[in-house]
Amino acid sequence: MKTALERRRATFLRGHRAEWIALLFLIAKGYRPLARRYAAAGGEIDLIMRRGDTIAFVEVKARGLMDNALSAITATKRQRFSRAARAWLARHPHAQGKTWRADAVFIAPKRWPQHIVSAFELEIS
């Protein structure tokens, strides 16, 4: 039986691995990384990517089943994510003229990553 510490470590490593998979997947789709694991204002953004004039703030979710990954972005998570996005935008004035969106990449075993463009609304105002 795993201890609580072993479970937390395994969860951390699974999430870290999922972020790398998502990063490589998005690079293969033509995105360029701007930041990874950006934390500010009480929120965290797994990946910040750019493709053309679009900046995608990306949430990565790894779950045993794809359906569980799809439902893992709660309202609280979206609020914290949006706060972090606002903080990043405030620190990067070059991004003001770009299109911003909140994407998600879902990772599940034995499945291709699923990239959802504009997975949820950013609360930027």
Q: How many domains does the chain have?
A: 1
Entry pTM: 0.89
Residue 94 lies in a domain: yes
pLDDT score recorded for residue 41: 86
Measured distance CA(1)–CA(68) in Å, rounded: 24
Give 10-residue mean pLDDT values along the chain (125 residues). 85 88 98 97 95 97 72 86 96 93 92 93 84
Taking a C-beta distance cutoff of 8 angstroms, is the pair 67, 74 a contact? no
Taking a C-beta distance cutoff of 8 angstroms, is the pair 59, 76 a contact? no
pLDDT score recorded for residue 14: 84
Residue 13 lies in a domain: yes
Measured distance CA(108)–CA(75) in Å, rounded: 22
Domain span at residue 30 reads 4-120
Each as own residue / partner, the long-range contacts of residues 94-101 (CB below 8 Å, 24 or more positions apart, any chain) are: 95/55, 97/53, 98/50, 98/53, 98/54, 98/55, 99/53, 99/54, 99/55, 100/54, 100/55, 100/57, 100/124, 101/54, 101/55, 101/56, 101/57
Residue 57, classified by CB atoms within 10 Å of its CB into exposed (0-12), middle (13-18) or buried (19+), is: buried
pLDDT score recorded for residue 69: 61
pLDDT score recorded for residue 70: 63
> What CATH number does the domain containing 30 carry?
3.40.1350.10
Residue 50 lies in a domain: yes
pLDDT score recorded for residue 52: 97
Residue 96 lies in a domain: yes
Residue 52 lies in a domain: yes
Residue 125 lies in a domain: no
